[in-house]
Amino acid sequence: MKRTPEDLSALLLNFDEVNATLGGWPCLRAMLRSTAPERLPACALDELPAPADVYAWLKSVPSHRHAGGAILVDCDAPEAAPPLPKNAEGKRPKAGAACAVARSRAPRGRVAVCALP
């Protein structure tokens, strides 16, 4: 389910880049391209990228390559994650807390959080 009302193409500076990258994952691409809150079909596990693939992609994307510090947290083991980047308030969120929020929105299945600096 997409809960946010925003059209991400108007908010993300690198929308075209992310949209093209998600071409291999139509389920995620549909969520990205949705322009209003709506119930979307759940993604099957084989329709989702592995966390290692997401992390490799983040390292390869020009808009993130120089930012550095992107962290992918596997919510099955958040204690293994390195410290997350500071947020806009200058505070460093805990990986477990980020996973708790993500799990509240996706209570079943595998959950991962990507934290960008």
Within this chain, do residues 76 and 30 fall inside the same structural domain, yes or no? no
20-67 per-position pLDDT tens digit: 878 888 888 888 888 888 887 777 777 777 777 776 776 666 555 444
pLDDT reading at 11 higher than 80: no
Handedness of CA 38, 41, 99, 16 (dihedral sign): negative
Within this chain, do residues 63 and 14 fall inside the same structural domain, yes or no? no
Q: Supply the pLDDT for residue 104.
A: 78
Q: What are phi and psi of 2, to 5 degrees?
A: -95, 120
Within this chain, do residues 32 and 82 fall inside the same structural domain, yes or no? no
Within this chain, do residues 55 and 90 fall inside the same structural domain, yes or no? yes
Strand blocks (E) in the chain: 71-74, 112-115
Within this chain, do residues 75 and 65 fall inside the same structural domain, yes or no? yes
Q: What is the DSSP letter of 108?
A: S
Name the domain count of the chain: 2
Instruction: Give the rounded distance of the alpha carbon of 52 from its chain centre.
Output: 13
**Whole-structure pTM over 0.75, yes or no?**
no
Within this chain, do residues 79 and 108 fall inside the same structural domain, yes or no? yes
Within this chain, do residues 25 and 54 fall inside the same structural domain, yes or no? no
Distances (CA, A) of 32 to 5, 42, 77, 80, 89: 12, 14, 26, 28, 26
State which residues form the domain around 28: 1-48
